[in-house]
Amino acid sequence: MELANIHSNEYDLVFTSNGVHVWINNLTAMYGQIQRVLKPGGTCLMYDIHPFMRPFGVQAGEAATVVKPYDLTGPFGEVPTYKWRMQDIMNAMITSNLRVQRIEEMYAQDGWFWVDDSTDEGAQLTDEEVQRNCDWHQNPMAALPQWLSVRAVKG
């Protein structure tokens, strides 16, 4: 958010990775700064957890549990975080005069996505058990895309 010291029209690429958006309280301001520092024709590439995952408590192999409404975006917690929707991300890019060229909704490449690595849960799972996490019959949450990627260009 603090890009004031970066000259305008300076970069060919700006990339935001998984976990950036939860800390941003004003997506339009963020994408406005990204647009400003990009050269004409420069690319903004965004990759993050898919917003459709955010309303649910993610527990592999269990029924999907809604823990918040999709349109409840935050702030959450003592240190504020945000759970943006597709429209929040897309409209922030569009309002900032970035031209969206491609959107990809992707699924986890393997079942480890569903394993809580803050515990020793994974240590007791076989490879077969881990891979079952990607089967939506075994894990209903696997029916939804887990990742979102957007490529937008400065006109």
Tokens of 107: 């699924």
Q: Break the chain into its structural domains and give their ranges.
A: 11-154
Question: Mean pLDDT across the chain, nearest whole number?
Answer: 91
Question: Cβ–Cβ contacts within 10 Å for residue 42, how many?
Answer: 19
Confidence (pLDDT) at 8: 96
Longest CA–CA separation in the chain, Å: 51
C-alpha closest to that of 154 among 46, 20, 13: 13
Q: Which two tokens stand for residue 128?
A: 């077969």
CB 139 within 8 A of CB 132: yes
Reported as a single tens digit per residue, the pLDDT across 47-103 is 999 999 888 876 655 677 888 999 999 999 999 999 999 999 999 999 999 999 999
- CATH code of 11-154, in short, is 3.40.50.150
- 111, 77 Cβ separation under 8 angstroms: no
CA 87-33-50 angle, 5° bins? 30
pLDDT at 45 over 70: yes
C-alpha span between 126 and 131 (Å, rounded): 9
Sign, CA dihedral 125-47-150-85, equals positive
